[in-house]
Amino acid sequence: MRTLLVDNYDSFTYNLFHYLSRANGREPEVIRNDDPAWRPGLLDAFDNVVLSPGPGTPHRPADFGLCARIAEEGRLPVLGVCLGHQGMALAHGARVGRAPEPRHGRTSAVRHDGTGLFEGLPQPLEVVRYHSLAVTELPPELEATAWSEDGVLMALRHRTLPLWGVQFHPESIGTQDGHRLLANFRDLTERHGRTRPGGRAGHGTLPPPAPARETTATTGTPRRLRVIAESLPTRWDAEVAFDSLFRTGDHPFWLDSSRPGGELGQLSVMGDASGPLARTAKADVHAGTVTVRADGASSTVESAFLTWLENDLAGLRTEVPELPFAFALGWVGCLGYELKAECDGDAAHRSPDPDAVLVFADRALVLDHRTRTTYLLALVEDDAEAEARAWLAAASATLEAIAGREPEPCPEAPVCTTGPVELRHDRDGYLKLIDVCQQEIAAGETYEVCLTNMAEADTDLTPWAAYRALRRVSPAPFAAFLDFGPMAVLSSSPERFLRIDRHGRMESKPIKGTRPRGATPQEDAALVRALATCEKDRAENLMIVDLVRHDLGRCAEVGSVVADPVFQVETYATVHQLVSTVTARLREDSSPVAAVRAAFPGGSMTGAPKIRTMQIIDRLEGGPRGVYSGAIGYFSLTGAVDLSIVIRTVVLSGGRLRYGVGGAVIALSDPADEFEETAVKAAPLLRLLDTAFPGREAPGKDLDGEPDDGTDAGAPKDLVLPG
């Protein structure tokens, strides 16, 4: 069966894609609701149509696009989901207005008539809802078939045409038997095809789908490279090793598991751009250029950065020895949030820093914290192995010389001159922005807005001294130090954005929901229970999990996207976190860079639906995020990728310090609590500067309702807060 899936610029469409592929035994064709190649005759190529969810209102032609005509004609069986359901009802005389309350990422027990879409499904049916609008009145030709416990219409059908709609989301991981509902739509299509004149549709011709890789053809013979490696038992401190080998080099970097242990703190990678094959690449999204420096000379090319990176990696053929980890040299650095302009976002603001900076690392050190083994890696081209071997020997000698040496003492607050910390939006301004977010949610424009603020100050803080203090104050599995010329990035991120191994296995671990550790075992257990059962935290987490499933699903093998485990409370030294894991397998016709493009920026830093919500963020925040909310990590020569979300991160450039903070705003959010959450998340910066958060109310109540004396009681010394 061939299905046309019309995407209303939603962030859950590819979840429907995978469910429909399973139900139909073949992949649906996906087009957007404003596809310029669309013409009505193309419907003859399909057996049925699914109209996706999406932001906005069906009353606005730009939000519903060509879906309106498809719904009006009723030529083929059509299933409308959420916005698709509302628009189809509107096209046939129903009224659509605001629901009694916005319901996003929240479950409901739905009663249904047990026929059609609901044949054989449980009664009641547990479903997930993402909507602020609803069908409020039906004409005689439309019939209600399901209702929620709060009396909102949840499904309908046309009495004479093959049209069905559901207000809830069958493709959400929280909806019961969503696969079976879509299989029922398939069966309804089969029955309609047997009864209508002419039988089932023939298969016409559609324009070819967009390529999985957005690349230009590479020319010339691929460069042939080889990685050589040596291993040593680790007998040196990581900080001392970086300081001795790389810190004073060109563009030094350190992907620093400063909180080693567990699944996420297994490796640290350090290096610089001092080797003979090293390069640096910087992106300027507004200019549409990439500037590459190699051998002391710079050249600028006109290209989207991710397209350029894809082509560069495609032009390398690298022989890699057997290593117990995925990193085998390659591109290391950061992708700024404004790179979203290459990933369906707008170029709304210009960052004062490059939109991406990567180092092509031809020499590096990897610390395997699991086995306490150090690996030295060097890249060789042609027969130039002697120089690489000489570096390995010199690096080994340096490590032996520092064996057992402890790091120099480090004050928590380095000596520096720093001006007052100022927020881009003061407390009153931020509270007003939260109110606007909730108005947008109530109007159906978005489900969740990850609103952020920027703390800034003049400073003469030294990057290395500051990072040494930060990694003690706020150790994290994805900490990083990037000293890239005029810009230095000091990160203590706990969150993985995307990992892709050399075999194409993908993993993302979105975090939404945090509680501090309790003072007693009983209090600790109570906090775990509160986090695990809090409807607001679970709703935030579910929305991002469904979004990440969609993002990975755009480049994933059909049926390979799995969200498991979800809503897991992970306990760390200072916090409990609500974490979910989404995995998938990369399609053969796709690539790691294409997967990053499909998922960037991380959904936990945007909200959903991603494209419309990023536009709202651009308008409300009124300035660039820069490195904050982007990604830090590597693109390995093995094809592997490992990137973190840039949170809990200090950026130093031009004598200024910037530190982003934010949180997810949903319909259930309390504005005062949201502002307090940004203050709590700024704890690493506040400790580093020995200062207070501007506009923070004290004394009062903290986020958990406990007395707050104005100190960081809700933000312990080793605080690592996600989100």
How far apart (Å, rounded) are the C-alpha atoms in residues 353 and 627?
8
Cross-strand pairs, 291: 282, 300
CB 388 within 8 A of CB 248: no
How open is the CA angle 521-522-524, to the nearest 5 degrees? Answer: 65
Give 600-646 as a 3 state SS string: CCCHHHCEECHHHHHHHHHHHHCCCCCCCCCEEEEEECCCCEEEEEC
Locus of tokens 């094809």:
639
Residues marked active site are found at: 82, 169, 171
How far apart (Å, rounded) are the C-alpha atoms in residues 78 and 82?
13
How far apart (Å, rounded) are the C-alpha atoms in residues 394 and 308?
34
CB 680 within 8 A of CB 703: yes
How far apart (Å, rounded) are the C-alpha atoms in residues 359 and 73?
55
Q: How many other CB atoms sit within 10 Å of the CB of residue 299?
A: 9
Give 24-92 as a 3 state SS string: HCCCCEEEECCCCCCCHHHHHHCCEEEECCCCCCCCCHHHHCCHHHHHHHCCCCEEEECHHHHHHHHHC
CB 663 within 8 A of CB 433: no
CB 663 within 8 A of CB 451: yes
Report the Cα 684 to chain-centroid distance in Å: 23
Nearest to 309 by CA among 358, 363, 380: 358
Strand 78-81 with 48-51, pairing = parallel
Give the single-character DSSP code of 707. Answer: E
Write phi, then psi, for 307 (nearest 5 degrees).
Answer: -65, -45
CB 358 within 8 A of CB 331: yes
Give the single-character DSSP code of 265. Answer: B
Locus of tokens 């009062």:
700
CB 504 within 8 A of CB 370: no
Q: Please state, in angstroms and as integers, the Cα–Cα distance from residue 714 to each residue in 178, 690, 691, 722, following that order.
A: 40, 16, 16, 14
